[in-house]
Chains A and B, each alone.
Chain A
């Protein structure tokens, strides 16, 4: 269908009920409800923007810009069933080769990031997505939008703007106080159907995966899980979503040639946080919250935060041990070195499975993905499952007694040595140095 469901948004608090828009609308899509203008027939709105011109208070906006009708468009492949709706072009966006697109996917434009939040704070994995989403949006010449579903917006829209969002769709309702799949999914699905983004990125956190799967199923569209690289093919406007498969033994790039939006969840820690800016004029667009009875199937009885302590994801220096550390006791050396270097200790999966260290230490496919400045790997062989979680570190130093260990492939610097000989002396050296420092 060659239709853009880009419809007007009315800011209820700014509307003075003068009805100028209602008189102007050629489609009779607007009416007054309780003295305030409302888009009563969203299907009829063709985003012509005439109501924006007559509104005395500027309460009406068109998030994707005005749709300019092409008079007697010669495009032969334009969908005959679209009737009165000529092939639209979003005025604010750069020209796009829409006529070459599959009619099933034409009309979808824009890149969205779902803002998962912990109370009044957007979680870091969502902010990270704004950096790659910016790149994708710039390549496609479309705006970068964020979508926030909450009961209390707090400072979150400003934060999203500071990290690069051009516009922020906001649904705020007391029933959205806590994440509940059905309620949150309804709001996001309604928004996607109304504004038709071509790409929606969701952090691959537990709740993010839960939500993305629900949305993709209802919209019968493509969802690629746990991506580690994202790019677009501009001519086809296709998202190239690359992810590890088979325990990280293989990488696969997934595309969705005939479906929109293209959904992807992205591993936390894969992309850096975007630069924070201060001059960030983002548009806030309120979303309606229309929950159905079947969206109220869960009741939250209690919430208890899990205290993680400092996160590996924020650590600049990580000292990680592997099976080669031999035991729980071996790990005390790892922990000492981490402390002396002002970093955090970490581990590969076998150490967690052997119960030497807690799961919070685990780096890799089934653990955390980290990108510190320095990653020191001791006694880690370098199984693919581990490497996918740390290969983005700026500087990797590997110490292992087996020169053929695969960890030396990904490391920038390698030392073939026995960790139990090197570590105690290194620790002693560092302790001596810090002692000198204290005396000074």
Chain B
């Protein structure tokens, strides 16, 4: 079974600062990390590889620095790492990203067919969750998002059975292979990479592909291929701030009770 896991390197949003004057992100000092959900996707792929055999290819698009993330994924069990890198890919929105990644997956599939593409639920920086489904449509893969459990892969019948968990229900679905899954991170907890795996990961050659290597139409890549444009970005507006209530605890409680009564809160009694 051949599995491809697309991953992304993202700025750690817990550390990112926004310049309130310009509304732009201050990238300095913000460390780049592998998108956490994507590592769980690697883990899901790894569990399937253990059960059914096969190989895992991790694929990323970004600057050369994204090699760090690909190495991390290799140490968690991936066998092959490909980086789409080049100026032509820059500025891509989710539509252009899914195009670039889909062309790379097509090239991967030339050697051996791809049975599964597994993605994390969403990326920390954009939180759109749109690239996975985009890949499914472009590559005509059965689209199975919010996967909580992978119950079974039947390679003979070419089906996969999963449980999708949405806000309202748990749905058991049998889908045809090839399929694309986006997985729930809580179901695929990470394990520490064992030392021999880390050594192996360091030795795997990194393949770097440009737009021409995947036969991509340059008009559909990067900024050119992106229908969405950032019109403006800004720091969230600052409200005026709280009106202070002061006094001894009992006074404060009386003020709170009065305030709640004003707001129409009915307190028993």
Contacts and interface: CB of A to CB of B under 8 A. Distances in A.
Asked whether A and B interact, the reply is: yes
A69 interface: no
B interface, over-half SS: mixed
B196 interface: no
A413 B170 CA distance: 41
Given A245-B125, A373-B263, A259 B244 contact: no
Interface in A385-440: 387-388, 391, 394-395, 397-398, 408-417, 421-422, 425-426, 429-430, 433-438, 440
B98 A373 contact: no
B129 A209 contact: yes
A221 B190 CA distance: 36
A188 to B, nearest CB: 13
A interface, over-half SS: mixed
Interface string A223-258: 111100000000000001000111111111111111
Sorting the interface of chain B by its residue count into under 10, 10 to 19, 20 to 34 or 35 or more gives: 35 or more
Contacts of A182: 142-143
Given A249-B16, A341-B260, A341-B267, A414 B127 contact: no
A294 interface: yes
B168 A297 contact: no
A158 interface: no
Interface string B148-176: 00000000000001001111111111111
B47 interface: no
Contact of B228 (A185, A249, A254, A410): A254
Interface stretch (A24-32, A47-55, A193-201, A302-310): A302-310
Interface in A273-326: 294, 297-306, 316-317
Interface string B117-158: 000000011111110111011101011111000000000000
B268 A214 contact: no
Given A213-B130, A256-B229, A303 B145 contact: no
A241 to B, nearest CB: 8
A303 B171 contact: yes
B205 interface: no
A365 B13 CA distance: 12
Contacts of A416: 244
Contacts of A412: 242-243
Contacts of B25: 246, 249-250
Interface string A31-45: 000000000000000
A225 to B, nearest CB: 4
Contacts of A341: 260, 265, 267
A206 interface: yes
20 contacts: A181-B136, A206-B146, A213-B129, A213-B132, A217-B137, A217-B138, A218-B137, A246-B18, A252-B233, A297-B176, A298-B142, A298-B174, A300-B173, A302-B171, A317-B265, A388-B236, A391-B239, A409-B242, A412-B243, A435-B269
Interface of B: 11, 13-14, 16-18, 23, 25, 93-95, 98, 124-130, 132-134, 136-138, 140, 142-146, 161, 164-176, 227-236, 238-239, 241-246, 249-250, 252-253, 256-257, 259-260, 263-269
Instruction: Give 9 closest A-B pairs by Cβ, nearest first.
Output: A437-B269, A414-B242, A213-B133, A247-B13, A434-B268, A225-B128, A222-B227, A206-B166, A259-B227
